[in-house]
């Protein structure tokens, strides 16, 4: 069995939801990089971005990712932009498997639009409307997700339980 499982993908794709269930099934700890970052910053992601900008947030995010190289037996839900730290992923992959959770753009837009906490938890990257922003972000990040992933699971096309089952099959 692998040391750690890192879940990557766009915001609202279900990394935390799938991650919690997968960790439980594997008997692993569950970690969420956004939670680790907010604990380190002492404020929400949105507040941090508003006060210090995305660059500072990305610096802290990279520190958190590097600290994860010391962890074992964990499932980690990463932030959507964690993939931008290209120099960190080879280190993480030495001890774990990277699973890219995907979903259709329409599904992601519906999830974010239907989430009352979305603006608090997921601050805008560009200031554009959610669907426009997601389309642009996915165009930039999809090649990075694809290049980094060991396994791809379409979490938009299946239940959480089915996504977890697909990941478990891959891990075996």
All structural domains of the chain with their residue ranges: 4-171
| Per-residue pLDDT, 126 | 57
Quick: pLDDT tens for 12-42.
Answer: 999 999 999 999 999 999 999 999 999 999 9
Q: What is the enclosing helix (H) or strand (E) of 34? A: helix 33-41
Q: Check: CB of residue 101 under 8 Å from CB of residue 24.
A: no
For residue range 150-169, list pLDDT tens digits in order: 999 999 999 999 999 999 99
CB atoms within 10 A of CB 131: 15
How high is the pLDDT of residue 80?
92
What is the structure's pLDDT at 124? Answer: 54
- Separation CA 97–CA 171 (nearest Å): 8
Tell me: the pLDDT tens digits for 50-107?
899 889 999 999 999 999 999 999 999 999 999 999 999 999 999 999 999 999 999 9
What does the block give as tokens for 7? Answer: 């879940």
H-only helix segments in 98-159: 105-113, 118-121, 130-148
CB 33 within 8 A of CB 9: no
d(CA 99, CA 120): 26
Burial 85-110 (b: 16+ CB within 10 A, else e): beebbeebeebbbbbbbbbeeebbbb
CATH architecture of 4-171: 3-Layer(aba) Sandwich (3.40)
Kindly give, in sequence order, each residue whose CB lies less than 8 Å from that of residue 9, ignoring residues fewer than 6 positions away: 15, 80, 100, 101, 102, 103, 145, 155
The pLDDT score that the predictor gives to residue 120 is 47
Asked whether the predicted pLDDT for residue 116 surpasses 60, the reply is: no
pLDDT digits 0-9 by tens, 125-151? 556 677 888 899 999 999 999 999 999
CB-side exposure of 43: number of CA atoms within 13 Å?
9
Q: Based on the number of CB atoms within 10 Å of its own CB, is 2 exposed (0-12), middle (13-18) or buried (19 or more)?
A: middle
- For a pLDDT cut of 90, what percent of the chain falls above it? 74
């Amino acid at each position: 069995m692998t040391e750690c499982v890192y879940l990557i993908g766009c915001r609202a794709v279900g990394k935390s939801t799938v991650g919690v269930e997968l960790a439980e099934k594997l008997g692993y700890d569950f970690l969420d990089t956004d939670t680790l970052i907010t604990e380190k910053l002492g404020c929400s992601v949105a507040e941090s971005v508003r006060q210090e900008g995305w660059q500072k947030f990305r610096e802290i995010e990279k520190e958190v990712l590097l600290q994860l190289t010391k962890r074992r037996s964990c499932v980690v839900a990463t932030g959507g932009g964690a993939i931008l730290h290209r120099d960190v992923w080879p280190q993480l992959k030495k001890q774990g498997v990277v699973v890219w959770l995907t979903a259709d753009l329409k599904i992601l837009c519906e999830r974010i639009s239907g989430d009352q906490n979305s603006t608090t938890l997921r601050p805008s990257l560009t200031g554009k409307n959610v669907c426009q922003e997601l389309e642009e972000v996915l165009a930039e990040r999809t090649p990075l997700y694809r290049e980094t992933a060991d396994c791809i699971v379409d979490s938009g096309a299946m239940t959480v339980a089915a996504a977890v089952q697909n990941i478990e099959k891959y891990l075996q």
